[in-house]
Amino acid sequence: MTIHSLIAQIEPPHAVGGGDYFYRAYAPGLAMAQVEGVYVVTLTSQHRQREEIAAEADVLILDNICDPDFLPCIQKRREQRKQTFYEIPDDLRAIPSWNPVHFFFRNTENQNLYKRLAGSCDGLQFTCKRLEELYGHLNACCRVFPNQVLELPPERSFRPPEQITIGWGGSHGHLEDLADIAEALTQWIITQPRICLHLMCSDSIWDLFQDLPPEKKKRTPTGTIADYYNFLSQIDLGIIHLKDTPYNRARSDIKFIEHAAAGVVSVIKRLDPYNESVKHGETALLYDDNDQAIASLQALTENWGLVKKIGREAREYVSHHRMQKDHAYERLTFYTGNLQQNKDQASHSIHVGECFERWSCLEGAIIKGRYMQLNPSRFELLLHDGLVVMQIHKDKTLAQSLFEAAGQLEPRNYLPRLFGAEIALNPVEKLLETLALKPDSLRAWIMLGEQFVQHTKIKEAFESFEKAAKIYPEYEIPYLRAAELLDRMGRKAEARKLYARVTELLKKNS
């Protein structure tokens, strides 16, 4: 019997056309929605309908969300026998300084929070085995879902070209990786009359190859995943170079899969992400240092028969093992294996269809069959811009005006008031308005308690922390804030009891 399921994937705010979103939300969501009875909705954590969608979904997937307000949501869903899953897509303890979320996850309380969320869910998923080794202890139910491709481009002829194009494409975050091999690559290409370097990259990465003559290099600006696929169709050999760092060792192997699907033969730095999926000499060439990388490139350019053989073997590997459509049931089995079957499947099917139809009318909704992508509307953009202006540009006046504009668009949504409370002239008033809209907001109760502490309203501060603790007793921060306050007041014995509670909760979470 078909189980009619509504699956919601909630992502951090991001560029919809980017690779992370494409492989971790869009591709699996679209594939699962091909299965009879399954509807999938993807949205960001700032979306105006997140509360309703999170409440209605049979299965909720939280991708790297670090927000305590989801803890009560997870708890309510468990009481309703609804499944919630958490995804850790990167080594969050080793995020490099260039990454926009580096400072956020460097914070100890945020580190503890994502672990708490991961452990509170019904299951935990990863992009690679390395991440499972690092974080699998957080949840008894874990699964690795490697990134897959949706479709294969047309097959290449592998005819020997007059000019051989070596390529690399990626984000600015790979600057240090490319800097590690740029000089060796430049020196070799200069000596090769038939070789041209094609980069899809940022200005900083392009500048690494300034010593290459103009006729020996070509640049494509960074863009969407579709732009990247088009770039791959224009290169013959691809460089995949990662420095050996903890963060890189926990990356996905998707660059190799993208190259292989497009018929690009890869020369790859030997590192964890590729050790399992790549067969050296059969589906790609692996190297240990820059000298080996250049030797591998030289060998390929001198033996086009080898290029043809490796290119076809790599594409065959993707065709047989890394197509998203072939893994949809694997995901669905993981998500719905313990899902309570509705006694009246026909009625539930109608309800699921009605929800999907209602949300499909929202501004920003893009529908493909039973898959829905909810792109940001003006409301979400105002929230995002307000946070950027507040946190990066430090312009409180402009940020507040953006939050107020968002609040006017969605007067029943609590996020504009919550975000604006941090910079409001009267934060307490904003937080009380927030709690009137969402009484179980842990963030708002904790922030309210902190504001009362600043105004030396001790009784009100304790009451706020106590409210937060009652909403979700397993979250340590309300106890920690109360203990810190007791400590400052000289009530050491009472503080020690609460610190002990904090330690107990952190041990359960580690």
Burial of 225 (0-12, 13-18, 19+ CB in 10 A): buried
Would residue 158 count as lying in a domain?
A: no
pLDDT of residue 344: 73
- Boundary residue ending a domain (283, 298, 321): 321
Would residue 490 count as lying in a domain?
A: yes
Mark whether 315 and 173 lie in a shared domain. Answer: yes
Mark whether 457 and 490 lie in a shared domain. Answer: yes
Residues 199, 217 contacting (CB under 8 angstroms):
yes
Mark whether 238 and 179 lie in a shared domain. Answer: yes
Number of domains in the chain: 3
Q: What is the DSSP letter of 90?
A: S
pLDDT tens for each residue of the chain, 510 residues long: 466 799 999 999 876 668 889 999 999 999 999 999 999 999 999 999 999 999 999 999 999 999 999 999 999 999 999 999 999 999 999 999 988 889 999 999 999 999 999 999 999 999 999 999 999 999 999 999 999 999 999 999 899 999 999 999 999 999 999 999 999 999 999 999 999 999 999 999 999 999 999 999 999 999 999 999 999 999 999 999 999 999 999 999 999 999 999 999 999 999 999 999 999 999 999 999 999 999 999 999 999 999 999 999 999 999 999 999 999 999 999 998 866 655 577 788 899 999 999 999 999 999 999 999 999 999 999 999 999 999 999 999 999 999 999 999 999 999 999 999 999 999 999 999 999 999 999 999 999 999 999 999 999 999 999 999 999 999 999 999 999 999 999 999 999 999 999 999 999 887
CATH number where 462 lies: 1.25.40.10
- Boundary residue ending a domain (311, 343, 375): 375
Predicted model pTM:
0.95
E strand segments, 127-230:
142-144, 164-169, 195-201, 217-221
- Boundary residue ending a domain (321, 338, 363): 321
Domain that holds residue 471: 379-509
What lies within 8 Å, CB to CB, of 230 at 6+ separation is none
CATH number where 112 lies: 3.40.50.2000
Mark whether 293 and 270 lie in a shared domain. Answer: yes
What lies within 8 Å, CB to CB, of 409 at 6+ separation is 378, 379, 382
Would residue 335 count as lying in a domain?
A: yes
Q: What is the DSSP letter of 280?
A: B
Mark whether 99 and 119 lie in a shared domain. Answer: yes
CB-based burial, 162-198: b 16+ in 10 Å, e otherwise? eebbbbbbbeeebbebbebbbeebbebbeeeeebbbb
Residues 11, 44 contacting (CB under 8 angstroms):
yes
Mark whether 265 and 180 lie in a shared domain. Answer: yes
At how many degrees (to 10) do helices 108-120 and 70-79 cross?
10
Mark whether 313 and 177 lie in a shared domain. Answer: yes
Mark whether 241 and 361 lie in a shared domain. Answer: no
pLDDT of residue 339: 64
Would residue 446 count as lying in a domain?
A: yes
Task: Report the first-to-last Cα separation within the chain, whole angstroms.
Answer: 40
pLDDT of residue 1: 45
Would residue 389 count as lying in a domain?
A: yes
Would residue 51 count as lying in a domain?
A: yes
Would residue 155 count as lying in a domain?
A: no
Would residue 340 count as lying in a domain?
A: yes
Mark whether 340 and 273 lie in a shared domain. Answer: no
Mark whether 504 and 396 lie in a shared domain. Answer: yes
Mark whether 407 and 488 lie in a shared domain. Answer: yes
Give the CA count within 13 Å in the CB-facing half-sphere of 54: 25
Mark whether 286 and 233 lie in a shared domain. Answer: yes
pLDDT of residue 99: 87
